[in-house]
Amino acid sequence: MRKNPIFQRETLGAAVLQVRSGRSTSRTTLARALGISPSTTGLYVDQLIADKYLNESGLNQGPMGRPRRILTTQADAGWFAGVEFNAQRIQAVGVDFSGGLKMSVELILPAEVLADQVIKSILSCVARLAATMEGPLLSVGLGVPGLVDAQAGVGLSYAFIPDWQQVPVVEKIGSTLNVPVILQNNLRAIALAERWFGRGHELNDYVILGPRSGFGIAMVQEGRLIEGARHAAGEVGRWPWQPSEGAESSQELHHALSAPATWRRLAGLGPRAKLPEDLRAGLAEVAGKEGAEWDAVCTDFARVVGCLQLILDTGVFILHGPLTVLGERFCHAITETACVQMPALRGTGLKVVPSTLGDNAGALGAASLAMEAWSPA
């Protein structure tokens, strides 16, 4: 072996990612995935094993030939924090080095919370995780609502926290915790969660549908998030929109298709009807409905999805947020309606599916950010 080889941090990080994701389980497959030679890969793996980031866990016999020496990540090598918030609450998760979800924390924010308070609360959430998680904290991912400059590490704006303007989040959090902090818009973080914890496993192209208080989407093309020149890609909610039922005055899409609006429409209530305590529960009640309201809502969703499919050609749309309680039936209805209404969609493999991740998808996505950004010291 070489005496004191100095390795490229990025390559070490990429190797760990490959192993953690399960895409590469042996030195040879890892070499192919990373695009470096088998000999070099061997050295890198040796180093990572020596540093207790990876270990060998048995053999994997292929149909023939020498069996692969299975590489796995060492779960106790440290942990990642993933934090997501909006104006109501903070959600945080602790994930071990193998990518296993170990702990989950929620914190309700007071009404009319301000930016500084949010930052403090985030730190206290991470501290709560740290009390239980074993090993050192390796990095923190943050899913931030509103406009985010991921590269600069700055939260640009968010409608529901008035002074959330140009907040240097990475600096504020990072200087306290002394670990790398990675920022991303929370919906785009969810897209990463889907890749690590959900259905996006084998997918390189998909769209996250995020109808919540508004309606945003996150797009993944060839494995990369689409951010937009000004970090504002995916603002479908602001499309002009005329709901398919009744020729009301035209408005913006989120007035018709946000989670609350969808509930009101499905429940047959007016646009000012009071929301139930628990929106998910309310939605669950109307999930089995049929009739004109149901059809109208499906038609509207189908129109959005169809239009997106025609532009982006991604094929898979993953529904997130409260509306997932409407279940497969809802998603299936959208897919069907879209193909009926827009013949051009036939044969495009269009498919809408509900996410299998729960309410903490955003936090999981943030943890994914942390994992993807980490590389050994």
Where do contacts with DNA occur on this chain (CB under 7 A)?
1-2, 4-8, 11, 26-29, 35-40, 42-43, 45-46, 59, 61-69
Measure the CA–CA gap between 177 and 143, rounded to whole angstroms. 17
In the complex, minimum distance from the CB of residue 238 to a second copy, in angstroms, rounded to a whole number: 4
The answer to whether 300 touches 244, Cβ cutoff 8 Å, is yes
Q: Are 274 and 268 in contact (CB under 8 A)?
A: no
Determine contact, residues 23/33, Cβ cutoff 8 Å: yes
Smallest gap from residue 36 Cβ to DNA (A): 4
HSE at residue 168, side-chain half, CA atoms within 13 A, is: 5
Cα separation, 223 vs 206, whole angstroms: 9
Q: Which of 289, 295, 359, 376 shows the shortest CA–CA distance to 84?
A: 359
Instruction: State whether residue 5 is helix, strand or coil.
Output: coil
Whole-number minimum distance, CB 4 to DNA, in Å? 6
Name the residue nearer to a second copy (CB basis): 58 or 347: 347
Judged by beta carbon distances under 5 to 8 A according to partner kind, the member of a second copy, DNA, none in contact with residue 28 is DNA
Q: Which is nearer to DNA, 21 or 176 (CB)?
A: 21
User: From a second copy, DNA, none, which one binds at residue 38 (CB under 5 to 8 Å depending on kind)?
Assistant: DNA
In order of 23, 174, 234, 318, the CA distances from 211 in angstroms are 31, 31, 12, 11
Q: Which residues pair with residue 73 across a beta bridge? A: 54
Name which of DNA, a second copy, none residue 239 binds, using a CB cut-off of 5 to 8 Å depending on partner kind: a second copy
Give which of DNA, a second copy, none residue 29 binds (C-beta under 5 to 8 Å, depending on kind).
Answer: DNA
Chain contacts with a second copy (rule: CB under 8 A) = 204-205, 217, 219, 221-222, 224, 226-236, 238-240, 252, 303, 306-308, 310-315, 341-342, 344, 348-349
Q: How far apart are the first and last CA of the chain?
A: 22
Nearer to DNA by C-beta: 42 or 180?
A: 42
Q: Contact at 8 Å (CB) between 301 and 342? A: no
| CB of 139 vs a second copy, minimal distance in Å | 24
* Shorter beta-carbon distance to a second copy: residue 137 or 190: 190
Nearest CA among 138, 137, 157, 139 for reference residue 147: 157
> Which one, 21 or 348, has the nearer CB to a second copy?
348
- Least separation in angstroms between residue 5's CB and DNA is 4
Give which of DNA, a second copy, none residue 310 binds (C-beta under 5 to 8 Å, depending on kind).
a second copy
